[in-house]
Amino acid sequence: YGGMGLDFSYNIAVAEELGNIRCGGIPMAIGVQAGMATPALTRFGSDELKKQFLVPTIAGDFVACLGISEAGAGSDVANIKTTAVRKGNEYVINGGKMWTTSGCQADWMCLLANTSEGPPHRNKSLICLPMNLPGIHIAKKIDKLGMRSSDTAQIFFEDVRVPSKNLIGEEGKGFTYQMLQFQEERLWGVATVLTPLETIIQETIDYTRQRKVFDQSVLHNQAVHFRLAELATEVELLRSLLYRTIALYVEGNDVTKFASMAKLKAGRLAREVTDSCLQFWGGMGFTSEVLVSRFYR
Protein backbone atom coordinates (compact mmCIF):
# COMPACT_ATOMS: atom_id res chain seq x y z
CA TYR A 1 0.00 0.00 0.00
CA GLY A 2 3.00 2.31 0.55
CA GLY A 3 3.72 2.57 -3.17
CA MET A 4 0.23 3.84 -3.95
CA GLY A 5 0.27 6.55 -1.30
CA LEU A 6 -2.41 4.76 0.72
CA ASP A 7 -2.33 4.49 4.52
CA PHE A 8 -2.74 1.35 6.61
CA SER A 9 -6.52 1.73 6.86
CA TYR A 10 -6.72 0.41 3.29
CA ASN A 11 -5.01 -2.82 4.41
CA ILE A 12 -7.67 -3.18 7.08
CA ALA A 13 -10.46 -2.64 4.54
CA VAL A 14 -8.99 -5.49 2.45
CA ALA A 15 -8.59 -7.71 5.54
CA GLU A 16 -12.24 -7.15 6.49
CA GLU A 17 -13.42 -8.04 2.98
CA LEU A 18 -11.34 -11.24 3.04
CA GLY A 19 -13.52 -12.24 5.99
CA ASN A 20 -16.24 -13.01 3.45
CA ILE A 21 -14.25 -16.08 2.38
CA ARG A 22 -15.83 -19.04 4.15
CA CYS A 23 -12.46 -20.32 5.28
CA GLY A 24 -9.77 -19.16 7.72
CA GLY A 25 -6.62 -20.38 6.01
CA ILE A 26 -6.84 -18.30 2.83
CA PRO A 27 -7.13 -14.85 4.49
CA MET A 28 -4.32 -15.93 6.82
CA ALA A 29 -2.05 -16.93 3.92
CA ILE A 30 -2.77 -13.64 2.13
CA GLY A 31 -2.04 -11.80 5.38
CA VAL A 32 1.36 -13.52 5.68
CA GLN A 33 2.21 -12.63 2.08
CA ALA A 34 0.99 -9.02 2.19
CA GLY A 35 1.54 -7.99 5.79
CA MET A 36 4.14 -10.21 7.44
CA ALA A 37 6.77 -11.60 5.05
CA THR A 38 7.16 -8.49 2.85
CA PRO A 39 6.95 -5.19 4.85
CA ALA A 40 10.58 -5.22 6.05
CA LEU A 41 11.79 -5.82 2.49
CA THR A 42 9.50 -3.02 1.26
CA ARG A 43 10.76 -0.54 3.88
CA PHE A 44 14.43 -1.40 4.22
CA GLY A 45 15.49 -3.65 1.31
CA SER A 46 17.85 -2.66 -1.49
CA ASP A 47 16.45 -1.95 -4.97
CA GLU A 48 18.13 -5.15 -6.20
CA LEU A 49 16.44 -7.26 -3.50
CA LYS A 50 13.06 -5.66 -4.18
CA LYS A 51 13.39 -6.45 -7.88
CA GLN A 52 14.41 -10.04 -7.19
CA PHE A 53 11.91 -10.89 -4.44
CA LEU A 54 9.27 -8.20 -3.89
CA VAL A 55 8.15 -7.59 -7.50
CA PRO A 56 7.32 -11.25 -8.25
CA THR A 57 5.69 -11.61 -4.81
CA ILE A 58 3.38 -8.64 -5.44
CA ALA A 59 2.60 -10.06 -8.90
CA GLY A 60 1.59 -13.35 -7.26
CA ASP A 61 4.30 -15.35 -9.03
CA PHE A 62 6.19 -15.99 -5.77
CA VAL A 63 4.84 -17.27 -2.48
CA ALA A 64 6.63 -15.75 0.52
CA CYS A 65 6.91 -17.13 4.04
CA LEU A 66 8.24 -15.74 7.31
CA GLY A 67 10.91 -17.55 9.31
CA ILE A 68 10.70 -16.24 12.87
CA SER A 69 9.28 -18.88 15.23
CA GLU A 70 11.33 -21.87 16.31
CA ALA A 71 10.57 -24.92 18.42
CA GLY A 72 11.81 -23.03 21.49
CA ALA A 73 10.96 -19.46 20.48
CA GLY A 74 7.54 -18.33 19.30
CA SER A 75 6.28 -15.18 20.96
CA ASP A 76 9.73 -14.81 22.56
CA VAL A 77 11.43 -13.62 19.38
CA ALA A 78 14.68 -12.65 21.19
CA ASN A 79 15.27 -16.31 22.04
CA ILE A 80 15.77 -17.67 18.50
CA LYS A 81 18.80 -19.90 17.94
CA THR A 82 19.19 -20.04 14.13
CA THR A 83 22.53 -18.56 13.05
CA ALA A 84 23.77 -16.92 9.86
CA VAL A 85 27.57 -16.70 9.97
CA ARG A 86 29.35 -14.37 7.54
CA LYS A 87 31.95 -16.17 5.39
CA GLY A 88 33.35 -13.93 2.66
CA ASN A 89 30.44 -12.64 0.59
CA GLU A 90 28.01 -15.27 1.90
CA TYR A 91 26.06 -16.15 5.05
CA VAL A 92 26.12 -19.78 6.17
CA ILE A 93 22.81 -20.62 7.89
CA ASN A 94 22.24 -23.36 10.46
CA GLY A 95 19.22 -24.06 12.66
CA GLY A 96 15.52 -24.44 12.01
CA LYS A 97 12.13 -22.77 11.93
CA MET A 98 8.72 -23.94 13.17
CA TRP A 99 5.08 -22.92 12.52
CA THR A 100 6.03 -21.43 9.15
CA THR A 101 2.81 -20.57 7.30
CA SER A 102 3.04 -21.41 3.54
CA GLY A 103 6.49 -22.90 4.22
CA CYS A 104 5.92 -26.06 2.15
CA GLN A 105 5.18 -24.11 -1.02
CA ALA A 106 7.15 -20.88 -0.51
CA ASP A 107 9.61 -19.59 -3.12
CA TRP A 108 11.47 -17.51 -0.55
CA MET A 109 11.58 -16.85 3.17
CA CYS A 110 12.08 -13.65 5.11
CA LEU A 111 14.45 -15.22 7.64
CA LEU A 112 15.35 -13.88 11.06
CA ALA A 113 18.71 -15.23 12.23
CA ASN A 114 21.48 -14.38 14.69
CA THR A 115 24.30 -12.76 12.73
CA SER A 116 26.56 -11.99 15.72
CA GLU A 117 27.16 -12.84 19.38
CA GLY A 118 25.90 -9.52 20.79
CA PRO A 119 22.85 -8.70 22.97
CA PRO A 120 19.69 -10.58 21.79
CA HIS A 121 17.92 -7.42 20.58
CA ARG A 122 20.89 -6.22 18.52
CA ASN A 123 22.43 -9.38 17.04
CA LYS A 124 19.69 -10.41 14.62
CA SER A 125 19.23 -9.74 10.93
CA LEU A 126 16.57 -10.36 8.27
CA ILE A 127 17.68 -12.18 5.13
CA CYS A 128 15.88 -12.98 1.86
CA LEU A 129 16.35 -16.72 1.57
CA PRO A 130 15.42 -18.58 -1.66
CA MET A 131 13.79 -21.85 -0.59
CA ASN A 132 15.40 -23.96 -3.34
CA LEU A 133 18.94 -23.76 -1.94
CA PRO A 134 20.90 -26.88 -0.92
CA GLY A 135 20.68 -27.64 2.80
CA ILE A 136 17.06 -26.49 3.27
CA HIS A 137 14.99 -29.44 4.52
CA ILE A 138 11.21 -29.14 4.83
CA ALA A 139 10.82 -31.73 7.56
CA LYS A 140 7.04 -31.93 7.58
CA LYS A 141 3.73 -30.29 6.90
CA ILE A 142 2.19 -29.97 10.37
CA ASP A 143 -1.28 -31.52 10.82
CA LYS A 144 -3.47 -28.91 12.55
CA LEU A 145 -6.86 -28.68 14.26
CA GLY A 146 -7.91 -25.70 12.13
CA MET A 147 -6.60 -23.62 9.19
CA ARG A 148 -6.26 -26.94 7.39
CA SER A 149 -6.10 -25.46 3.88
CA SER A 150 -2.97 -23.55 4.88
CA ASP A 151 0.32 -25.46 4.99
CA THR A 152 2.41 -24.97 8.12
CA ALA A 153 5.99 -26.22 7.88
CA GLN A 154 8.80 -27.34 10.11
CA ILE A 155 12.07 -26.50 8.35
CA PHE A 156 15.75 -27.27 9.04
CA PHE A 157 18.84 -25.46 7.70
CA GLU A 158 22.12 -27.29 7.28
CA ASP A 159 25.02 -25.12 6.07
CA VAL A 160 22.76 -23.17 3.73
CA ARG A 161 24.77 -20.60 1.78
CA VAL A 162 23.11 -17.35 0.73
CA PRO A 163 24.73 -14.20 -0.77
CA SER A 164 25.40 -11.51 1.86
CA LYS A 165 23.67 -8.97 -0.44
CA ASN A 166 20.40 -10.76 0.49
CA LEU A 167 20.55 -8.98 3.86
CA ILE A 168 17.51 -6.70 4.34
CA GLY A 169 18.63 -3.25 5.51
CA GLU A 170 21.36 -3.19 8.13
CA GLU A 171 22.97 -6.11 9.93
CA GLY A 172 21.85 -6.34 13.57
CA LYS A 173 18.57 -4.47 12.98
CA GLY A 174 16.42 -7.55 12.31
CA PHE A 175 14.72 -7.65 15.71
CA THR A 176 13.77 -3.97 15.45
CA TYR A 177 12.46 -4.38 11.87
CA GLN A 178 10.37 -7.35 12.97
CA MET A 179 8.90 -5.58 16.01
CA LEU A 180 7.85 -2.62 13.84
CA GLN A 181 5.25 -4.69 12.03
CA PHE A 182 3.77 -6.64 14.95
CA GLN A 183 1.06 -4.00 15.55
CA GLU A 184 -0.02 -4.26 11.90
CA GLU A 185 -0.09 -8.06 12.10
CA ARG A 186 -2.31 -7.97 15.20
CA LEU A 187 -4.72 -5.48 13.62
CA TRP A 188 -4.90 -7.52 10.40
CA GLY A 189 -5.85 -10.56 12.48
CA VAL A 190 -8.63 -8.64 14.22
CA ALA A 191 -10.00 -7.32 10.92
CA THR A 192 -10.16 -10.75 9.27
CA VAL A 193 -12.24 -12.19 12.13
CA LEU A 194 -14.98 -9.51 12.20
CA THR A 195 -16.95 -10.59 9.13
CA PRO A 196 -16.92 -14.34 9.93
CA LEU A 197 -18.24 -13.61 13.44
CA GLU A 198 -21.06 -11.50 12.01
CA THR A 199 -21.80 -14.20 9.43
CA ILE A 200 -22.02 -16.92 12.10
CA ILE A 201 -24.36 -14.84 14.27
CA GLN A 202 -26.59 -14.05 11.27
CA GLU A 203 -26.70 -17.68 10.09
CA THR A 204 -27.55 -18.76 13.66
CA ILE A 205 -30.40 -16.21 13.79
CA ASP A 206 -31.75 -17.50 10.47
CA TYR A 207 -31.49 -21.14 11.52
CA THR A 208 -33.00 -20.73 14.99
CA ARG A 209 -35.84 -18.68 13.50
CA GLN A 210 -36.93 -21.56 11.25
CA ARG A 211 -36.02 -24.45 13.59
CA LYS A 212 -39.03 -25.50 15.65
CA VAL A 213 -38.82 -27.10 19.09
CA PHE A 214 -42.01 -27.66 21.13
CA ASP A 215 -44.13 -25.85 18.53
CA GLN A 216 -42.15 -22.59 18.58
CA SER A 217 -38.97 -21.37 16.88
CA VAL A 218 -35.79 -21.75 18.92
CA LEU A 219 -35.12 -18.03 18.40
CA HIS A 220 -38.38 -17.29 20.26
CA ASN A 221 -36.75 -18.36 23.53
CA GLN A 222 -35.46 -15.38 25.51
CA ALA A 223 -32.25 -17.17 26.49
CA VAL A 224 -31.34 -17.57 22.81
CA HIS A 225 -32.46 -14.06 21.90
CA PHE A 226 -30.52 -12.44 24.73
CA ARG A 227 -27.34 -14.39 24.05
CA LEU A 228 -27.31 -13.55 20.33
CA ALA A 229 -27.96 -9.88 21.11
CA GLU A 230 -25.07 -9.89 23.56
CA LEU A 231 -22.69 -11.55 21.09
CA ALA A 232 -23.67 -9.12 18.30
CA THR A 233 -22.93 -6.25 20.68
CA GLU A 234 -19.51 -7.69 21.57
CA VAL A 235 -18.57 -7.94 17.88
CA GLU A 236 -19.67 -4.34 17.33
CA LEU A 237 -17.53 -3.21 20.28
CA LEU A 238 -14.54 -5.07 18.84
CA ARG A 239 -15.07 -3.28 15.51
CA SER A 240 -15.13 0.09 17.30
CA LEU A 241 -11.91 -0.71 19.16
CA LEU A 242 -10.27 -1.74 15.88
CA TYR A 243 -11.34 1.45 14.11
CA ARG A 244 -10.22 3.64 16.99
CA THR A 245 -6.83 1.91 17.03
CA ILE A 246 -6.44 2.30 13.24
CA ALA A 247 -7.32 6.00 13.43
CA LEU A 248 -4.66 6.56 16.10
CA TYR A 249 -2.10 4.44 14.22
CA VAL A 250 -2.61 6.27 10.91
CA GLU A 251 -1.96 9.55 12.76
CA GLY A 252 1.40 8.15 13.88
CA ASN A 253 0.65 7.12 17.47
CA ASP A 254 2.03 4.09 19.30
CA VAL A 255 -0.93 1.70 19.52
CA THR A 256 0.82 -1.25 21.17
CA LYS A 257 -1.70 -1.37 24.03
CA PHE A 258 -4.86 -0.97 21.94
CA ALA A 259 -3.67 -3.39 19.23
CA SER A 260 -2.91 -5.97 21.93
CA MET A 261 -6.33 -5.40 23.55
CA ALA A 262 -8.05 -5.83 20.19
CA LYS A 263 -6.13 -9.02 19.45
CA LEU A 264 -6.98 -10.42 22.90
CA LYS A 265 -10.68 -9.65 22.44
CA ALA A 266 -10.75 -11.00 18.87
CA GLY A 267 -9.23 -14.32 19.99
CA ARG A 268 -11.70 -14.60 22.87
CA LEU A 269 -14.71 -13.75 20.69
CA ALA A 270 -13.63 -16.17 17.97
CA ARG A 271 -14.01 -18.95 20.54
CA GLU A 272 -16.98 -17.54 22.43
CA VAL A 273 -19.19 -16.69 19.42
CA THR A 274 -18.57 -19.98 17.63
CA ASP A 275 -19.05 -22.04 20.81
CA SER A 276 -22.23 -20.22 21.89
CA CYS A 277 -23.80 -20.23 18.43
CA LEU A 278 -22.93 -23.88 17.83
CA GLN A 279 -25.08 -24.86 20.84
CA PHE A 280 -28.18 -23.37 19.20
CA TRP A 281 -27.78 -25.57 16.12
CA GLY A 282 -28.51 -28.75 18.08
CA GLY A 283 -27.23 -31.91 16.39
CA MET A 284 -26.58 -30.01 13.15
CA GLY A 285 -23.89 -28.03 14.95
CA PHE A 286 -21.87 -31.23 15.31
CA THR A 287 -21.83 -31.88 11.55
CA SER A 288 -19.27 -30.68 9.02
CA GLU A 289 -21.88 -29.27 6.64
CA VAL A 290 -22.57 -26.10 8.65
CA LEU A 291 -20.19 -23.14 8.71
CA VAL A 292 -20.38 -22.71 12.48
CA SER A 293 -18.73 -26.10 13.15
CA ARG A 294 -15.93 -25.27 10.73
CA PHE A 295 -15.20 -21.95 12.40
CA TYR A 296 -15.52 -23.55 15.84
CA ARG A 297 -12.81 -26.02 14.81
Encode pLDDT of 89-103 as tens digits: 999 999 999 999 999
Any domain includes 220: yes
Nearest to 172 by CA among 129, 128, 113, 130: 113
Provide the total of helices (H) and of strands (E) in the chain, helices listed first. 10, 10
| Residue 239, domain CATH | 1.20.140.10
Specify the pLDDT at position 1: 52
pLDDT digits (tens, 9 = 90+) for 225-249: 999 999 999 999 999 999 999 999 9
Query: For residue 237, is it left (φ>0), alpha (ψ between -120 and 50) or beta?
Result: alpha
Specify the pLDDT at position 72: 85
Q: Are residues 164 and 181 in the same domain?
A: no
Q: Are residues 34 and 134 in the same domain?
A: yes
Q: How many structural domains is the chain composed of?
A: 2
Specify the pLDDT at position 4: 66
Specify the pLDDT at position 6: 86
Q: Are residues 95 and 184 in the same domain?
A: no
16 touches 192 (CB < 8 A): yes
Specify the pLDDT at position 73: 83
Residue 277 domain boundaries:
177-296
**Domain closes at, from 170, 200, 230:** 170
Q: Are residues 196 and 59 in the same domain?
A: no
Any domain includes 2: no
Q: Are residues 115 and 152 in the same domain?
A: yes
The set of catalytic residues is 185
Cα torsion at 103, 105, 106, 112 (round to 10°)?
A: 10
Specify the pLDDT at position 41: 97
Instruction: State the DSSP code for 3.
Output: G
**Domain closes at, from 170, 191, 208:** 170
**Domain closes at, from 170, 192, 208:** 170
164 touches 86 (CB < 8 A): yes
Q: Are residues 163 and 19 in the same domain?
A: yes
Q: Which residues of the chain have pLDDT under 50?
A: none
| Residue 16, domain CATH | 2.40.110.10
